[in-house]
Structure 1
């Protein structure tokens, strides 16, 4: 990758293609593939990633909220888009932009039927979400008859899929729980389809589910974090390539004497002469204060540089005492050599959090197209 002159998130589209092909290789050729691009495509660039997935042959996309789907439509994305958490106030925009809602409760079903009727829709595609143990969103077994009755009573909507979500698909210690979820979903979706005159798709597997429970791939699978290079398991991570590399530069180097302090609240005090480097990235860019005080580190000229003191809003200071470097040199926060998962682990969190935290003010550059 080329060097940068400012804080930049470099997006490797060749890595995205590699990850997509790897995950595709784990499913049957006829199984549909849904790429999850919510939260700015896990903190990267939603439009760029969606365009690449469309080019690669993905069958579906998914976002969390209607506004995300609208942005994709405005960018010219034609793929079907599932909205995982649609809100009633956005139903008109959802229909106008031909987005497909997850219907997860009696209230949402009734409200969407009203919106579809008001816009004179016929057979508008919806996805029925069942709760099988995650206990976040979804219908229960006692709702099946209600779903069927309300759907048949109106020609406004058509159930295009039934789906659920695994709670611990990456955890081998929770295999029994995951298998129970899969069986519960089979029972719920079969009960639904037995009462319908047509057969909706079924989908349940996330990235770790694709790897660990291929027998439950049904007609479609959904992958989010795996597309971006993380598999929640070391052996899977080894097969994937991180898409995002966060880079910055050294703005200034300071010689710090013994007993001097660095940064706000004098959170770091030196007990010997050291050399520090100030970098133009801080908690407003997504590097939270939890990474300060020596927990997090960056890489400069292939050497580890721990963060000194508190993370500032726009800057961090790092220890470069043992590193041959100069102002303007490139700095790697995370990427191919040190993954976001490893960076996040220094603050006892996960790759999802650091990836999605990267501020929109950080420049995005796509390479490898």
Structure 2
């Protein structure tokens, strides 16, 4: 019995099994959720599954038999995809990396993995898989870790910052009679108001995971924007940009915490000043500030002609601790977004690289 089995292994008739086995493997590869592309030892594409040619938005027929050069010269392959194919090839084949991650034009994360070497007998196997969900989990974990670290640091930071602010506030109050004699008492009032606002910002920083309840009052929109523009005009001139406050067509009132509202608008204007200062072409920076009625809402806008933002930055813009600044905390827009939401409104943003950014704060009007 055993001898018959051994003899059967040598029979040429077993070659018929290779067909169904290969087909089965191909069926498996066709139906997995990763894109697969196989280059043979001569650098020619010998296999590609439907996930892969679907990602590239090409047909199997147009890919099989091509080299990487032919693939990159395919007129039907989009410019963005050509760039990512070339970058993946460079990072993994030339630089020897085993995997490469990138963000596509729709904001999705992808991971490319390369398998080669002796086990592949000179072939190169590329697999591509979407990892957006994994990235989201990773970012959430990072934010949680950052919040925990912030909680440990906040107690010591608060004491060290608030002490000098208290001293400055006391000396400004002592100087008030002298400022009054010089007719500059308004400067003293602005300094005191800014110190109080700084204390409030520190408090908001320390409670960033749980913003304070707004101290609701009636706020004239025109007065709010005029005061913030007045505070930032000198800083804007020093940075070589101009702030234009658009005239108001009518008196508009909103309900909310005036300090928090001022914090939001001031943060957006200062972000705009930094975006304008970062332009490489030396163009005169312009920041447009204004407001208008839109149905039952007021729309306050802050626009600039700065460097703009790409899709990836826009997607992460309001995430805690996300920042593109070298010394930024990544809390400014996150806190601003929550302040506006606590007031029953929302912040929207549109931007184009090297053209500028347009923020709109929408809040309910008080009639």
Q: With structure 1 as the length reference, what TM-score do the two structures score?
A: 0.23
Q: Which structure carries more relative contact order (alpha carbon 8 Å, separation 6+)?
A: 1
Q: With structure 2 as the length reference, what TM-score do the two structures score?
A: 0.23
More helix by share: 2
